[in-house]
Amino acid sequence: MQLRFPGALLHHHQLLQRLVEREIAGRYRGSVLGWGWSLLTPLLMLAVYTFVFSQVFQARWVDLEEAGPLGFAINLFAGLIVFNLFSECVSQAPTLILNNANYVTKVIFPLDILGVVSVAAACFHAFTSLVILMIFQLLAQGAVPITLLWLPLVWIPLVGGCLALSWVLSALGVFLRDIGQVVGIVLNMMMFLSAVFYPLSALPERWQPILKINPLVVIIEQTRRVAVAGESPSAIYLLAGSAIALLFCELSHRAFQKARRGFADVL
């Protein structure tokens, strides 16, 4: 099957670039700290989660017990970066078309790039959090693993999955207004079922295969592997994950293009 969505998006690359810049700049326009909020927010989240889980509940990272709260915080933050990227994309998707209804009546406007803009903005904030993670590693451990360079490849399935879900959920959100409420509930559940606050190895063996059904668990584990443990990613994950993500993107893009024909009638 020939992939159509990359060519469709590249055709509007200049418009896409301007919309991404506007989305990032507009989020903090008028605020006192501006872009500083993208730094402060993950730091505050890291501090609270680390205190609650490592001090109140006395949680320890199974593979890094000697590292104490610092090791826990680094692993926790690496998982949070992945989950927050996913959550930001998915939570905005159901209202993506509804909030830009004025574009629906403009036949020449490519509605499919709205999902790309949302994912690109989320990736920017994830990159900001990643910079904080590296600074934290330098202060706590004195070095950043060179295997961190694998991260762009490790995140191909994540970004592809977020883009595909953005197209699917944004189209469904036009016809089913309740989809936003469902997505909110599912995200709250997934936060605790995606191995964000614990390693997969901490679970009993009978539960590990069940949690691996959740793609986020695999992505988070691979992210920690290259960003924290200093190990190379799984070759099977890179190949299979990327192929599945591309296929999912293609199918979702085609479904979105078919569904958009009915947007104007509903809106």
Q: Where are the domains of the chain?
A: 5-262
Please report how the helices 156-175 and 179-192 are oriented relative to each other, as an axis angle in degrees rounded to 10: 150
Q: Where does the pLDDT of residue 53 fall: very low under 50, low under 70, confident under 90, or very high at 90 and above?
A: low
* Average pLDDT of the residues in 48-56: 70
pLDDT reading at 58 higher than 70: no
**Amino acid identity of 156?**
I
pTM for this model (two decimals)? 0.88
pLDDT reading at 67 higher than 60: no
Indicate the range of 36-45, 90-99, 168-177, 201-210 predicted with least confidence: 36-45
As a whole number, the mean pLDDT across the chain is: 85
Q: Looking at residue 202, what is its pLDDT? A: 77
Question: How much of the chain, in percent, has pLDDT values that exceed 70?
Answer: 87
Helices (H), 93-112: 101-104
* Average pLDDT of the residues in 17-32: 75
Q: Looking at residue 207, what is its pLDDT? A: 84
Q: Looking at residue 234, what is its pLDDT? A: 94
pLDDT reading at 59 higher than 60: no
pLDDT reading at 43 higher than 70: yes
Compute the half-sphere exposure of residue 18: CA atoms within 13 Å on the CB side of its CA.
Answer: 3
The pLDDT tens digits of the residues spanning 92-144 come to: 999 999 988 888 876 678 899 999 999 999 998 899 889 888 888 887 778 89
Q: Give the chain's end-to-end CA distance (angstroms, integer).
A: 33
Higher pLDDT, 11 or 135: 135
With 0-12 / 13-18 / 19 or more C-beta atoms within 10 angstroms meaning exposed / middle / buried, residue 103 is middle
Kindly report the number of other CB atoms within 10 A of residue 106's CB atom: 9
The pLDDT tens digits of the residues spanning 137-191 come to: 887 778 899 999 999 999 999 999 999 999 999 999 999 988 989 999 999 999 8
Q: Looking at residue 107, what is its pLDDT? A: 63
* Average pLDDT of the residues in 240-255: 94
Cα–Cα distance list, 205 to 64, 135, 216, 217 (Å)? 19, 34, 18, 15
Please name which of 251, 101, 91, 255 lies closest in space to residue 174, comparing C-alpha atoms: 101
**Cβ partners under 8 Å of residue 233, min gap 6:** 147, 150, 153, 154, 222, 225, 226
